[in-house]
Amino acid sequence: MNKLRTINDIPRARRRSQPRLGRRHRALLAATGAAALILGSWLIGLLLSPDNLSTRLEWRNLPPSLQHPFGTDWLGRDMFTRTFKGLALSVQVGLLAAACSTVIATALGLIAATMGRAADRIVAWLIDLFLSVPHLVTLILIAFVFGGGMRGIVIGVALTHWPSLARVIRAEVLQLRSAEFVQISRRLGQSRWQVAVRHMLPHLLPQLLVGLLLLFPHAILHEAAVTFIGLGLSPHQPAIGIILSESMRYLSTGMWWLAVFPGLSLLIVVRAFDRAGESLRLLLDPRDLQN
């Protein structure tokens, strides 16, 4: 009887393990598809010829067609080229700003957890201070102080999007601080910063990668919002925020394609980054896959 029960339990165990594997595979496919979509849109923007951005009055205000899939604007510029050039520029700015914000969060998280109670209180106070103010308001002020443009946007996003990730890094470091290998390193005479950089930082790389991917959607949306109101990138650059801002003056005349296609493309890229970050978080945390 025991042998029969054991044999009958084998299919049940297989059935229980299949959903976990299926969920892991779905997360991997979602992350791969999102990465391919992001990379493809970025490469299309880089490979498209800038000649279609020149003014051609004979092509102005054309609706979407086979020759111009996204139509043309009031100066005859191809909106397909402008949209993907703007996406490539937004991806570059968003990744640079998110990377800088991740570096700030990592440094402050390590300082808070390794440099004593005074440093921990200061970092905790900074985190609460920045979280108490809306990101967009602080970002606008910082971008205005630094004169706008790409430099102002990158600095503004980097200085406003680090608190949430810094809180996660601080909690992870507090758990690692009680690990046996960290205690042995301290007894061997290594300083706190050496222990943090050499032994703790490698364990934080998965969280940092996921944090970078999850910070990007906020970075690119806030970059587009600040550019939309005129404090971001230069009007001569084909940024999505500039395209949407310029299209507002022509929507009442029926030129809907000037805002629909750029806005929808931005939404798809942002959603792809968010999906890639969530899928990667599931792949790196087996506890979520077991639920």
Sign, CA dihedral 196-199-201-203, equals negative
Residue % of the chain over a pLDDT of 70: 89
pLDDT of 225-243, one tens digit each? 888 877 777 777 778 888 8
Q: What CATH fold (topology level) applies to the domain 21-49+79-290?
A: MetI-like fold (1.10.3720)
Domain range summary for the chain, segments of one domain joined by + = 21-49+79-290
Query: Is 19 a residue whose pLDDT tops 60?
Result: no
CA neighbours closer than 13 Å in the CB half-sphere of residue 242: 20
Measured distance CA(166)–CA(88) in Å, rounded: 28
Q: Give the type of residue at 70.
A: F
| 22 pLDDT tier (thresholds 50, 70, 90) | low
Would you state the pLDDT for residue 194? 74
Measured distance CA(88)–CA(40) in Å, rounded: 10
Q: Which residues of 40-52 are buried (b: 16+ CB within 10 A; e: fewer)?
A: ebbebbeebeeeb
Please, are residues 187 and 230 in contact by the beta-carbon 8 Å criterion? Answer: no
